[in-house]
Structure 1
Amino acid sequence: MKKLLVSSLTTAITAAGLSMMPVQSAMADKIALVVSTLNNPFFVSLQQGAKDKAAELGHELIVLDSSNDAARELSNVEDALSRGVDLLLVNPTDSDAVVSSVRTANARNVPVVTLDRSANGGRIAAHVASDNVAGGELAGSFIAEKLGGEGKVVQLEGVAGASATRDRGEGFLKAIEGHSDISLIASQPANFNRTQGLNVMENLLQAHPEVNAVFAQNDEMALGAQRALQAAGKDILLVGFDGTDEGIKAVQAGKMDATIAQQPSLIGSLGVEVADKLLKGEDVDKTTDVPLKLITE
Structure 2
Amino acid sequence: MKKIAIATSILSLVSSTLVGCTNGSENSNAAPNTETNTATNTSLNQVSTAKGKLQTIGIALGDLGNPFYVAMQKGTQEQAKKLGNDIRVNAVSSSFDLNQQTNQIENFTAANTDLIILSAVDKKGIKPAIDGARNAGRVVIAVDSAVDADVDAMISSNNTQAGEIACKYIGDRLQGKGNIVILNGTPMDSINQRVSGCKNSLSKYPDIKIISDQNAEGTRDGGLRVMGDLLTTFPKIDAVFATNDQSGVGADLAARQARRKEFFIVGVDGSPDATKAMEDKDGVFVATAAQDPAGMARTAVEIGNDVKQGKKLSNSEILVPVKLVTRDNLSSYKGW
Output the TM-score relative to the length of structure 1: 0.84
Give CA deviations for 1:235-291 in whole Å, capped at 9, x if unaligned.
111001111223123223333111111111111111111111111112232122323
Q: Greater CA radius of gyration, 1 or 2?
A: 1
Work out which of the residue numbers 137, 146, 157 in structure 1 matches 2:173: 146
Whole-Å Cα distance in 2 between the matches of residues 279 and 164 of structure 1?
28
Unmatched 5+ residue regions in structure 2? Answer: 1-52, 328-336
Corresponding position of 1:158: 185
> 1:217, 1:241 within 8 Å by CA — same for their partners in 2?
yes
Cα 1:187/1:96, change in 2 over 3 Å: farther
Q: Counterparts of 1:1-297 in structure 2 under 5 Å? A: 29-57=55-83, 58-119=86-147, 121-161=148-188, 163-235=189-261, 236-254=263-281, 255=283, 256-284=285-313, 285-297=315-327
Determine helix, strand or coil for the equivalent of 1:139: helix
The answer to which of 104-113 and 129-138 deviates more is 104-113
Whole-Å Cα distance in 1 between the matches of residues 146 and 89 of structure 2?
21
> 2:287, 2:326 within 8 Å by CA — same for their partners in 1?
yes
> 2:120, 2:126 within 8 Å by CA — same for their partners in 1?
yes
Whole-Å Cα distance in 1 between the matches of residues 96 and 203 of structure 2?
32
Let me know the Cα RMSD of the aligned residues.
Answer: 1.8
Determine helix, strand or coil for the equivalent of 1:198: helix
Paired letter, 1:289? L
Unmatched 5+ residue regions in structure 1? Answer: 1-26
Whole-Å Cα distance in 2 between the matches of residues 197 and 124 of structure 1?
34
Cα 1:276/1:174, change in 2 over 3 Å: same
Cα 1:100/1:176, change in 2 over 3 Å: farther
Output the TM-score relative to the length of structure 2: 0.75
Cα 1:253/1:190, change in 2 over 3 Å: same
- What's the offset of the Cα at 1:93? 1.7
- What's the offset of the Cα at 1:145? 1.0
Whole-Å Cα distance in 2 between the matches of residues 73 and 64 of structure 1?
8
- What's the offset of the Cα at 1:28? 5.6
> 2:56, 2:114 within 8 Å by CA — same for their partners in 1?
yes
> 2:184, 2:242 within 8 Å by CA — same for their partners in 1?
yes
- Which structure carries more helix by proportion? 1
Whole-Å Cα distance in 2 between the matches of residues 63 and 177 of structure 1?
42
> 1:116, 1:130 within 8 Å by CA — same for their partners in 2?
yes
- What's the offset of the Cα at 1:127? 1.5
> 1:94, 1:160 within 8 Å by CA — same for their partners in 2?
no
Paired letter, 1:59? I
Task: Give the 4+ runs in structure 1 shifted more than 3 A.
Answer: none
* Percent identity for Structure 1 against Structure 2: 29
> 2:54, 2:114 within 8 Å by CA — same for their partners in 1?
no
- What's the offset of the Cα at 1:43? 1.4
Determine helix, strand or coil for the equivalent of 1:34: strand
Q: RCO higher in 1 or 2 (8 Å CA, sep ≥ 6)?
A: 2
Determine helix, strand or coil for the equivalent of 2:289: strand
Whole-Å Cα distance in 1 between the matches of residues 204 and 260 of structure 2?
27
Determine helix, strand or coil for the equivalent of 1:68: coil
Whole-Å Cα distance in 1 between the matches of residues 260 and 127 of structure 2?
42
Give CA deviations for 1:21-52 in whole Å, capped at 9, x if unaligned.
xxxxxx86222111112222111111111112
Cα 1:200/1:76, change in 2 over 3 Å: farther
Whole-Å Cα distance in 2 between the matches of residues 177 and 56 of structure 1?
45
